Amino acid sequence: MKVQNERQGDRISIAMPIQVFGTEITGQDFVEMTQTRLLFRDGAAIELNHRLAPMQQITVRNLAMGTEAPARVIGEVSGRPNARVYGIALLDPDLKFWNVNFPGAGESEASGSQCWLECGGCGGRELASLSMLECDVFQSNRSLTRPCKWCEADTVWQLASHEPAGEKRSSAEPPKMARVQPAAEPAKGRNARKHSRVQMKMTACVHEPGYGTEEIVQVENVSRGGLSFLSPNGYGLNSLIEVAAPYMKGADNVFSFARVRRVELLPDRKLKRYGVSYVKDSSV
């Protein structure tokens, strides 16, 4: 086990061998042998070849100790198309899972930092206390997926443009906001939602096999099993498409097969809302 002599508060740079059990964003289960990049008292930064969604749960096995623990994905810290680094938090922060003696840290180091964040779903603001691990993810993406008590869902938060007038930074109470009513969900049936959604505005690219054109669309929300996007074009119910999300022009984008499971017409916006679920191959 390679240990670098680099320490900062509750963060230690260690390449520790681990095994990760989880479900990729496409819905396919996986087991991957990998290693950590950084260790924190309550989590780690780990390398993975598979794509994960923020807030999803995985299981991590410490190969040196032979123990397992559940963890939650905080977000992507850095990465390439075939190798990503994710920040994960142990569900039991008091668990001595790594068997590592962390250096002593002051209260400011242990708590990370405080900053005003704004919910991308309802616009609500909150003075958030972020751990060091959450700070690393936030600095990498300029956003962080976390629960919103007004939306009553996991949403994407960004740095607020300014502090609310009259609020003190030491205040733990967020400013009062009008509660935003969630959109009505269709009645649950055989195709009831299996994975929780995260409201996330990002760009995706949609391609329909057999046609040469690609369409850049706006994503509304994502889940571990699929996503929802807006488009003026027509895609048939249960039709097969390929989706790259997120999509960056000129980058090595990864396309995945998906099926259109829901089509909703938005006449006032001249758009359609599509709900798609990832599939392992085109025959599913």
**Do 11 and 86 fall within a single domain?**
yes
Task: Summarize pLDDT for 216-249 with one digit per residue, the tens.
Answer: 998 888 877 888 999 988 898 899 999 988 787 7
Q: Residue 187 pLDDT > 60, yes or no?
A: no
Range of the domain at 268: 198-278
Considering the domain boundaries, does residue 215 fall inside one?
Answer: yes
Considering the domain boundaries, does residue 169 fall inside one?
Answer: no
Q: What is the per-residue pLDDT for 284?
A: 56
Task: Summarize pLDDT for 257-276 with one digit per residue, the tens.
Answer: 999 999 998 877 788 999 99
Q: Name which of 147-161, 181-195, 229-243, 261-275 the model is least confident about.
A: 181-195
Give CA 280 to chain center in angstroms.
21
Considering the domain boundaries, does residue 220 fall inside one?
Answer: yes
Considering the domain boundaries, does residue 85 fall inside one?
Answer: yes
Considering the domain boundaries, does residue 254 fall inside one?
Answer: yes
**Do 84 and 113 fall within a single domain?**
no
Q: Are 229 and 274 in contact (CB under 8 A)?
A: yes
Give the count of alpha carbons within 13 A of 55, CB side only.
19
The CATH number for 62's domain is: 2.40.10.220
Q: What is the per-residue pLDDT for 258?
A: 92
**Do 33 and 111 fall within a single domain?**
no
Considering the domain boundaries, does residue 272 fall inside one?
Answer: yes
**Do 68 and 127 fall within a single domain?**
no
**Do 84 and 117 fall within a single domain?**
no
* Distance, CA of 67 to CA of 59 (rounded, Å): 10
Mean model confidence pLDDT for the chain: 77
* Distance, CA of 147 to CA of 125 (rounded, Å): 12
Pick the most confident of 153-162, 175-184, 229-238: 229-238
**Do 16 and 79 fall within a single domain?**
yes
Considering the domain boundaries, does residue 36 fall inside one?
Answer: yes
- Considering the chain, what percentage of its residues have pLDDT values greater than 90? 21
Q: Strand 83-90 relative to strand 113-119: parallel, antiparallel, unpaired?
A: unpaired
**pTM score over 0.85:** no
* Distance, CA of 23 to CA of 53 (rounded, Å): 9
**Do 208 and 245 fall within a single domain?**
yes
**Do 19 and 65 fall within a single domain?**
yes
Based on the structure, what is the number of domains in the chain?
Answer: 3
